[in-house]
Chains A and B, each alone.
Chain A
Amino acid sequence: MRLPELDAVLADINRIILGKERPIRLALACLLARGHLLIEDLPGVGKTTLAHVLAKVLGLEFQRIQFTSDMLPADILGVSIFDRGSGSFHFHPGPIFTQVVLADEINRATPKAQSALLEAMEERQVTAEGKTRPLPEPFFVIATQNPAHQIGTFPLPESQLDRFLLKIELGYPDPAAERELLAGADRQKMVAELAARVTPQRLVELQQAVREIHASPALIDYVQALAAHTRTAPRWQAGLSPRACLALLAVARAWAMLDGRNHVLPEDVQAVLPGVIAHRLRPVDDVAHSDPEAVAAALIEAVPLP
């Protein structure tokens, strides 16, 4: 059975970001699968708005960190400052201590600052000045990055990219959607007026439910067959890691839940595959940036369903 609250969430977002049903659905699936999202696209296509809207309709706290090249880890994690009144150091939490973090233009920061964020993402806690502080639950990072070929970027290394469950692109809207956007109401105002559709507790429950979506042996065979193909065929630079397979299965479960099913179908896997492999799998003849949809289609068509 479909979950009305999730349908409502999707409807709300689609009302504000027009013509991007698929990326939005993927973003929500990523969140439900307890993963972090990487959005790569040109400035101005609605990355920030998407993050903002997601936080808003899910009733989550939201902070935005604009990454710059002179940023330091303390700017993200927080810093201890000497408090004259109490005569001791006092920790001032950084912007990361929130439920939804928008890490904007992450590849403009230096690797040092990037890794501070990525470690926090991975461990869901922050260790500063010898003390470990847990991050809120749910905790969700949406990072955006400019296409790597732009000036003044520090591309994220592959090992860091792997920490993002999904990578999506928004792309330009189609003319009809763009016209509606231009003619329609002010998006800022619409976002401000949005109401939360679920509580954070409910969100955690939903995340829990995602993990219980059934993946049959035949489906796991399929995920394995896909991975095996990427590992043996000469077409790919390096195969999918077991972590990538787990990611694929997790997002496919969330996708199945958004469809109101209690089990995963191969179609779910195929639907989320572009997002999962976009930052993980590279064809050997990949000279520049190849379209993840095309790459995923090639992979899908090479592997029969077991």
Chain B
Amino acid sequence: MARANRPVSRRQAWWLLAGALAAFLPLTQQVPLWLALAAGAAFAWRAALTWRQWHLPPKWLLVLLVIAGTVGVFMQYRSIIGRTPGIALLVVFLALKLLELRAARDAIVTALLCYFLVLGQFLFTQTIPTALLSCVTVLITTATMLAASDDRPAPQMQLRRAALMLAQAMPFMLLLFVLFPRVQGPLWGLPQDRYTATSGISETMSPGSIAQLSQSDAIAFRVDFKGKVPPQSQLYWRGPVMPAFDGRTWSIRQTLGAYPDVPYPVSGPAIEYDLTLEPNGKFWLFSLEMPGNLPPDSALTSDYQPISRQIVRNRTRYAQRAFPETNAGINESRAMLRDALALPSGGNPRTRALGAEWRIRHGEDDAAILVTAQDFFNRQLLIYTLNPPLLGPDLIDEFLFDSKRGFCEHFAAAFVYALRAAGVPARVVAGYQGGEVNPVDGYLVVRQYDAHAWTEAWIAGRGWVRIDPTAISAPSRINTNLAAAVPSGEELPFLARTDLTWIRDLRYRLDAVTNGWNQWVLGYNPQKQRDFLAGLGLGEPDWRSMTAALAVLCGVVLLGLTAWTLRNRRRVDPAFAAWRRFTGRLAAHGVVWHSWEGPHAFAERAAAGIPTHASDIREIAAQYARLRYAPLPEDGDLERLRERIAGFRP
């Protein structure tokens, strides 16, 4: 095809360089440094080629470079298949394709590569900034495509045309997004390394591990309550339960027996909510205590911790009901209770002695021991702080009797230890406590700094009873938030601070937008699609009716756009239409009318070309010119012109 072999003009080369840069720059973080530098060098080379109008590099050199780039990618990743190596290869190809822009088809290939790279960005992040950035890149790439076919218009014109085309494509995109039958899960498997760096509550708890989390304002999950948001002091989001203690570290049970459904009878009023969990790289699901149902594809451990059957790598949304007044585990097994009493041999003599003393004082009355323990914690005047002193081997003793300063993990650990020393089954529960309602969209946002540890003690006849020792010493942590509980001057993550209200307002808004994006764009799964379409009155649509609706609506949009284009087009003057008929007849005789030619000028030329009809031609042209340009043409002029032209047979 001749068009495909047209050489690439300088202007087109600049366009392609701009498009390639726009597609490549967002990916610089994702490819290895050597590749980013090499691609940058190739772009600079391209710029120099265009600027100085040098010759393109020889084919053999390009072939060598392609091989070198591919080998480099392979050496880097030990594979050329997969997300990151694939993108890296595309970058290699794009950079080198720019160096062999010979003909229009090379330009088209380059632009298509740019589109692929835009898509590639979404394999790494799917946030709003990424989406906006990719819109800009697509705009530039589309303008590049336009320039590849016609490089004459000015850059701003190309961009405007590209923007118009994309704006026209927008309704189709929305329709396809909403109506195209959704499949469960992403279309391409997201690679395993996607959320490796996610921080959050882990399987173990040692002094300082939760305090460390309190420095992060990353979002753990968002909750949409069906009714009123319960008071802060009720918001205990149950996570990993840790009964095992080795003297320093608490950890979850190694052998996880799991219930497929809630094993305890629920009681009291229910709290209904939808929870949108951010990926945490673990099996953790979090539920308000005590969960009355389980999210799909999940189970409840023997410690009543809800866990997912797969690692939570994607944002998940599930609906749950919580029954705060439930007594769980009334008939707890002996093995479980034995685990909840185990203490490492030796260490912490003062706490052990204290426990033994409680047991002697209260006999078999576990409930009374519990009360005494709480009373003891209260009288010790423990201080809640983010910066507790470092503790030695007998850390429970040191915390309770010497330093008396600790974060929630110290409180929980000491409380469980003391109860176990007294022979009362107890365990540590990790999770989140509280959260913050975003006034913009009403979602409760729970962040990493809301991470917390509390305890459960088993009392015969009542089952597992939640006691939060932190609440005894620092009630404001539970009733208000972290900032209210720690001494002023301690370092807090930015969002946990209560001053700087306007920035918080801004963050609230931003977070509400992000949440909307997550819920409605990224989280638009088959379920959401069904709900949404049912909300539109489409009943229970299957993929057939959805496809049919899609086709019909796309047709409607297309018609609308066509009508809009036609309406914007100038209505053809009837005299002009007649004139076109006339010039068409003359064209058959070899006198072609140029669209810019005035009627008299054309008539003179045509009369010279067809002298036998010279006078006819001149008269028709004069009639036409009068109709179009003279003041107040008479009625019937148009009809006379039409008749005259109809009768004109050169």
Interface residues of chain A, those whose CB is within 8 Å of chain B, are 214, 216, 218-219, 232-235, 262-267, 270, 300-306
Is B631's CB under 8 angstroms from A267's CB? no
Contacts of B628 in A (CB 8 A): 216, 218-219
B544 close to A (CB within 8 Å):
no
Q: Are A234 and B596 in contact (CB under 8 A)?
A: no
Asked if A305 and B597 sit within 8 Å, CB to CB, the answer is yes
B601 within 8 A of A: yes
User: In the assembled complex, which residues on chain A have CB atoms less than 8 Å from the CB atom of B599?
Assistant: 265-267
* Residues of A contacting B597 in the complex (Cβ-Cβ under 8 angstroms): 305
In the assembled complex, the Cα of A302 lies from the Cα of B595 at a distance in Å of 9
In the complex, the answer to whether A266 meets B631 with C-beta atoms within 8 Å is no
Q: Is the CB of A305 within 8 A of B595?
A: yes
**Which of these binds chain A: B28-36, B152-160, B238-246, B607-615?**
B152-160
Question: Quick one: which of A267, A302, A303, A304 contacts B600, CB cutoff 8 A?
Answer: A267
B588 within 8 Å of A by Cβ? no
User: Is B631 within 8 A of A216, CB to CB?
Assistant: yes
Residues of B within 8 A of A302 (CB): 596
Q: Is B573 engaged at the interface, CB distance under 8 Å to the other chain? A: yes
Q: With the chains together, A232 CA to B153 CA distance in Å?
A: 8
Q: Determine if B629 is an interface residue (Cβ-Cβ < 8 Å).
A: yes
Q: B631–A270 contact, CB under 8 A? A: no
- The complex places the Cα of A305 from the Cα of B631 at a distance, in Å, of 18
Whether A263 and B629, one on each chain, are in contact in the complex, defined by CB atoms closer than 8 angstroms, is yes
Min CB gap A228→B, angstroms: 12
Contacts of A235 in B (CB 8 A): 152
Query: Could you mark each residue 589-602 of chain B with 1 if its beta carbon is under 8 Å from any beta carbon of chain A, else 0?
Result: 00000111111110
Closest B-chain residue to A300, C-beta based?
B596
- Chain B residue contacts of A306, Cβ below 8 A: 570
Of A218, A300, A303, the residue contacting B629 (CB under 8 A) is A218
- When distances are taken between beta carbons in the complex, the residues of chain B under 8 Å from A263 are 629-631
Tell me whether B598 and A214 are in contact (CB under 8 A): no
Residue from A214, A232, A234, A301 in contact with B594 in the complex, judged by beta carbons closer than 8 Å: A301
Contact at A304–B157, with CB atoms within 8 Å? no
Residues in A whose Cβ lies below 8 Å from that of B598: 265-267, 270, 305
Distance in angstroms between the alpha carbons of A214 and B632 in the assembled complex: 10
B595 and A304: CB pair below 8 A?
yes
User: With a CB–CB cut-off of 8 A, which chain B residues contact A262?
Assistant: 630-631
Taking the complex as formed, is B18 at the interface, i.e. its CB lies under 8 A from any CB of chain A? no
- Give every chain B residue within 8 A of A300 (Cβ-Cβ): 596
The answer to the question of B178 belonging to the interface, with a C-beta cut-off of 8 Å to chain A, is no
Query: Interface SS of chain B: helix, strand, loop or mixed?
Result: loop
Number of residues on chain B facing chain A (CB within 8 A): 19
Query: Is B625 part of the binding interface, using a Cβ–Cβ cutoff of 8 Å?
Result: yes
* Closest chain B CB from A241 CB (angstroms): 18
Residue of B152, B153, B573 touching A218 (CB-CB under 8 A): B573
Specify the chain A residue showing the minimal Cβ separation from B157: A232
CB distance from B580 to the nearest CB of A (A): 11
Within 8 Å CB of A303, what residues of B? Answer: 596
CB distance from A156 to the nearest CB of B (A): 28
Of the candidates A216, A232, A264, A305, the one whose C-beta lies within 8 Å of that of B596 is: A305
List the 7 shortest-distance A-B pairs measured between CB atoms, nearest first: A304-B595, A267-B598, A214-B631, A266-B598, A234-B154, A263-B630, A216-B629
Residues of chain B in range 596-650 having any CB-CB distance to chain A below 8 Å? 596-601, 625, 628-631
Whether A264 contacts B594 by the Cβ 8 Å rule is no
CB-defined contacts of A219 to chain B, threshold 8 Å:
628-629
Would you give the shortest CB distance from A216 to chain B, in whole angstroms? 5
Contact A233 B152 (CB under 8 A): yes
Q: Which residues of B contact A234 (CB under 8 A)?
A: 152-154, 157
Q: Which chain A positions have C-beta within 8 A of B573?
A: 218
Given A265-B625, A302-B596, output 7 extra A-B contacts at Cβ < 8 Å: A232-B157, A263-B631, A265-B599, A265-B600, A303-B596, A305-B596, A306-B570
Known interface pairs A270-B598, A305-B595, A305-B597. Does A264 touch B152 (Cβ–Cβ under 8 Å)?
no
Knowing A218-B573, A234-B154, A306-B570, the reply to whether A265 touches B629 (Cβ < 8 A) is: yes
Q: Is the CB of B154 within 8 A of A214?
A: no
Query: Once the chains bind, are A267 and B570 in contact (CB under 8 Å)?
Result: no
Residue of B nearest to A218 (CB): B628
Q: Which residue on chain B has the smallest CB distance to residue A215?
A: B629
What residues of chain B lie closer than 8 Å to A214, measured between beta carbons? Answer: 629-631
Q: List 13 A-B contacts (CB under 8 A).
A: A216-B629, A232-B154, A234-B154, A234-B157, A262-B631, A263-B629, A265-B600, A266-B598, A267-B599, A301-B596, A303-B596, A305-B595, A305-B596
Residues of B within 8 A of A218 (CB): 573, 628-629
Report how far A265 CA is from B604 CA in the complex, Å.
15
Query: Which of B157, B594, B598, B599 counts the most chain A CB atoms within 10 A?
Result: B598
The docked-state distance in angstroms from the alpha carbon of A233 to that of B157 is 9
Q: Which positions 463-503 of chain B face chain A at CB distance < 8 Å? A: none
Q: Mark B133-165, 1 if CB is under 8 A from A, else 0.
A: 000000000000000000011100100000000
A residues less than 8 Å from B596 (CB atoms): 300-305
Q: Does A267 contact B601, Cβ atoms closer than 8 Å?
A: yes
Alpha-carbon separation in the docked complex, A266 to B600 (Å): 9
Distance in angstroms between the alpha carbons of A262 and B632 in the assembled complex:
11
- A232: chain B residues at CB < 8 Å are 153-154, 157
- Nearest CB to that of B600 among chain A residues? A267
Residue from the set A214, A219, A263 with the largest chain B CB neighbour count within 10 Å: A263
In Å, the complex CA distance between A107 and B225 comes to 82
Q: How far is the CB of A284 from chain B (nearest CB, A)?
A: 10
CB contacts (< 8 Å) of A267 on chain B: these are 598-601
Bound-state Cα–Cα, A119 to B167, Å: 49
Q: How far is the CA of A194 from the CA of B625 in the complex (A)?
A: 38
Bound CA–CA A30/B625 (angstroms): 24
A305 vs B595: C-alpha distance in the bound complex, in angstroms? 6
Contacts of A304 in B (CB 8 A): 595-596
Return chain A residues, CB-CB under 8 Å to B625: 265
- What is the bound-complex CA distance between A235 and B11, given in angstroms? 13
Measured between C-beta atoms, what is the minimum distance from B162 to chain A in Å?
Answer: 15
Distance, CA A110 to CA B595, complexed state (A): 46
Q: How far is the CB of B596 from chain A (nearest CB, A)?
A: 5
Could you say which residues of chain A place their CB within 8 Å of the CB of B152? Answer: 233-235
A211 CB to nearest chain B CB (Å): 14
Q: Which of chain B's residues has its CB closest to A262's CB?
A: B631
Nearest Cβ distance between residue A28 and chain B, in whole angstroms? 21
Q: How far is the CA of A305 from the CA of B580 in the complex (A)?
A: 12
CB < 8 Å neighbour of A216 from B154, B601, B630: B630
How long is the Cα–Cα vector from A305 to B629 in the complex, in angstroms?
A: 12
* A-side contacts of B630, CB under 8 Å: 214, 216, 262-263
Least Cβ–Cβ distance between A17 and chain B, in angstroms? 26
Q: How far is the CB of B568 from chain A (nearest CB, A)?
A: 14
Give residues of chain B (368-412) contacting chain A, Cβ–Cβ below 8 Å. Answer: none
**A219: nearest residue on chain B (CB-CB)?**
B629
Rounded to whole angstroms, the CA-CA distance of A79 and B592 in the bound complex is 63
> Chain B nearest CB: distance from A236 CB in Å?
10
- Which residue on chain A has the smallest CB distance to residue B575? A218
Most chain B CB within a 10 A radius of its CB, from A235, A265, A270: A265
Q: Which residues of A contact B600 (CB under 8 A)?
A: 265, 267
* Separation of A301 and B595 alpha carbons in the complex (Å): 8
Q: Which B residues between 253 and 291 are near A, CB-CB below 8 angstroms? A: none
Q: Residues of B contacting A265 with CB < 8 Å?
A: 598-600, 625, 629
Interface residues of B in 286-324 (CB under 8 A from A): none
Min CB gap B575→A, angstroms: 9
B-side contacts of A305, CB under 8 Å: 595-598
Distance in Å: Cβ of A210 to nearest Cβ of chain B = 15
Which residue of A has the minimal Cβ distance to B630? A263
Q: How far is the CA of A305 from the CA of B153 in the complex (A)?
A: 21
Q: Which of B152, B596, B630 has the most A CB atoms < 10 Å from its CB? A: B596
